Amino acid sequence: MTEDDKDIVKQTAAAGVGAGVGTAGGASVGVLELAASGSVTALSAGVVIGVGALAGALLGLAGYRAYQRVKSKQATPEK
């Protein structure tokens, strides 16, 4: 496995963890909020959970990429 392959696996893992966290957040916060207003349907609950999962995946991936940038700047000495 090359270094590029390993980096892709790490990015996928970060997005997967973020999606899991986003799903849990979407399920707990969004669905409970919709239930309080009395407008929960299977479709609206699914949309809230899906949006949470997507947002979590994107944030997880963005966080990993930001970490990689900081890590690479520390490894490269400035001239």
Our CA angle for 47, 49, 50, nearest 5°, is: 65
Long-range contacts of 69-75 (CB under 8 A, 24+ apart): none
Q: 28: number of CA atoms within 13 Å, CB side?
A: 6
- Give pLDDT tens digits for 40-66: 676 777 787 788 888 888 888 888 888
Report pTM: 0.69
- Give pLDDT tens digits for 1-38: 888 888 888 888 888 888 888 778 777 766 676 667 77
How many angstroms separate the CA atoms of 33 and 27, rounded? 10
Q: Which two tokens stand for residue 4?
A: 């590029």
Our CA angle for 68, 23, 44, nearest 5°, is: 135
Domain ranges of the chain: 3-72
